[in-house]
Amino acid sequence: MRLDKFICKSTELTRNEAKKVLKSGEVRVNGEVAKNAAMQVHENNTITIDGQELTARGSRYYILHKVVDSICSNVDEVYPSVLHFIEVDKAFDLHIAGRLDADTTGLVLITDDGRWSHNVISPKKDCQKTYRVWLRDEIDDDKLEPLIQQFTDGLQLQGEDSLTRPAILRRVAQDELIEEDAYRSEVLLTITEGKYHQVKRMFAAVGNRVVGLHREQVGEITLGDLAPGEWRELTAAEIALFA
């Protein structure tokens, strides 16, 4: 990893403060003064500041139950970043392993381990993400099986070169919900990729419209009893799933 990142991970210093310390010439890598923030360092290097050896803190892994009107970004925009919910030191040094839209709720994984998040996100790793989806239009009984097949075979999304990867669609309920809510069917959709607005675009591609979206599961990880807005550290077993 970069030297400035290593310094941040092993001290209380921010990235800017780490750069200042580097400029001052107080940092040594294997005994040699190091001033280049971008220098690549490894676990077996001896890195000191003012003679004090640094030990990198282990990586951090969290799960958050995202609420609407928060965004999966490291900077605030119209809505605040989900990282404000994670009440730990240097929360903005973390990143989000698979983004949700501002109006989507549910399971978000947050870490500072780039390799781990790659294993969660990369379609090649086949990690299943399951969404509960509320749809504007009902799915007629006679249309259900062909629709499930379309999702299995792959859909052509606007602007994409390839079909979506095989997805699993299950209908949970419909019609009886019309009175209370502005949706006519509720489904579960499991996908292994995360193209931009993927779920919304998949249902648009079959002429329906997503009116509510909630991520329930990523791999074997579920929200359990985490209430909206709550977060916790992942357990060792959960971390190991994507190590």
| Number of residues binding to ligand URA, judged by CB under 6 A | 8
Q: In the bound complex, what is the minimum distance in angstroms from residue 37's beta carbon to ligand URA?
A: 34
**DSSP structure string for 12-47:** S--HHHHHHHHHTT-EEETTEE---TT-B--TTS-E
Q: Which of 81, 111, 130, 198 binds ligand URA (CB under 6 A)?
A: 198
Q: Residue 101, interface with ligand URA (CB under 6 A)?
A: yes
Q: Which of 199, 218, 221, 234 binds ligand URA (CB under 6 A)?
A: 199
Helical ranges in 101-218 per DSSP H: 114-121, 141-153, 198-205
- What are the beta bridge partners of residue 233? 62
Candidates 6-14, 23-31, 194-202, 216-224: pick the segment binding ligand URA (CB under 6 A): 194-202
Helix (H, G, I), strand (E, B) or coil at 113: coil
Q: Residue 71, interface with ligand URA (CB under 6 A)?
A: no
Question: Angle, to 10 degrees, between the axis of helix 15-23 and the axis of helix 3-10?
Answer: 120
Looking at 76, 89, 101, 141, which residue is catalytic? 101
**How far is it, in rounded angstroms, from Cα 230 to Cα 67?**
9
Q: Which of 100, 109, 187, 221 binds ligand URA (CB under 6 A)?
A: 100
Q: Residue 135, interface with ligand URA (CB under 6 A)?
A: no
> Is residue 101 flagged as an active site residue?
yes
Q: Identify residues 211-230 at the interface with ligand URA (CB under 6 A).
A: 213
Q: Residue 70, interface with ligand URA (CB under 6 A)?
A: no
Q: In the bound complex, what is the minimum distance in angstroms from residue 118's beta carbon to ligand URA?
A: 18
Cβ atoms 190, 164 nearer than 8 A: no
Please tell me what DSSP assigns to residue 85: G
- What are the beta bridge partners of residue 205? none
Place of tokens 């973390």: 94
- Residues near ligand URA (CB under 6 A) are 100-101, 104, 197-200, 213
Catalytic residues: 101
